[in-house]
Amino acid sequence: MPKERPAQLDSPIVRTVVKLASRINTRVYRLTGGRLGNRWRVGSALRRPAAVCLLTTTGRRSGQARTVPLLYLRDGEQFVFVASQGGMAKNPAWYLNLSADPHVVAEVGRERFDLVARTASDQERARLWPRLVEMYADFDTYASWTDRTIPVVICEPT
């Protein structure tokens, strides 16, 4: 495991490919009702795929709906997300959108869940982080690549 985030991950080409792949995954997920695009099979999830859902937030500047495919963990009725952005120095846009409007929609297959998001407390994060890393070990790698504390987001039914 590299101690620093590989510089090539920050290239404009990689960012463009990731955005395009995210848009394609969202469209395919919706078109197939989640039959396709519902599993992440990259990195530590190659042999044990991680569950993917679609999370829709409201853009903090645009006011437009913004949907991203994200790995998630169910904790009872709650959905748990990690704002890792691959260990980048800044939090992802979807996480920043939550500060302006915490009301979100999660889609799992054809089911939609109206939720309210909040950042996990330190105690909640300490409890959930081992489960998240068990689900997708690369979260620990991403945490080692950045100085920020990667937020864990808990979304609860409204």
Q: How would you write the pLDDT of the chain (158 residues) with one tens digit per residue?
A: 557 777 777 788 888 888 899 999 999 999 999 999 999 988 878 888 999 999 999 999 999 999 999 999 999 999 999 999 888 889 999 999 998 999 999 999 999 999 999 999 999 999 999 999 999 999 999 999 999 999 999 999 98
Triad 143, 99, 90: Cα angle to 5°: 30
pLDDT of residue 8: 73
Q: Is residue 2 one of the residues assigned to a domain?
A: no
Question: Does residue 130 fall inside a structural domain?
Answer: yes
Q: How many domains does the chain have?
A: 1
Residue 52's CATH number: 2.30.110.10
- pTM given for the model: 0.91
Q: What is the DSSP string of 30-51?
A: HHTTTSSS-EE-SGGGSSSPEE
On whether residue 57 sits in a domain, the answer given is yes
What range does the domain containing 67 cover? 7-157
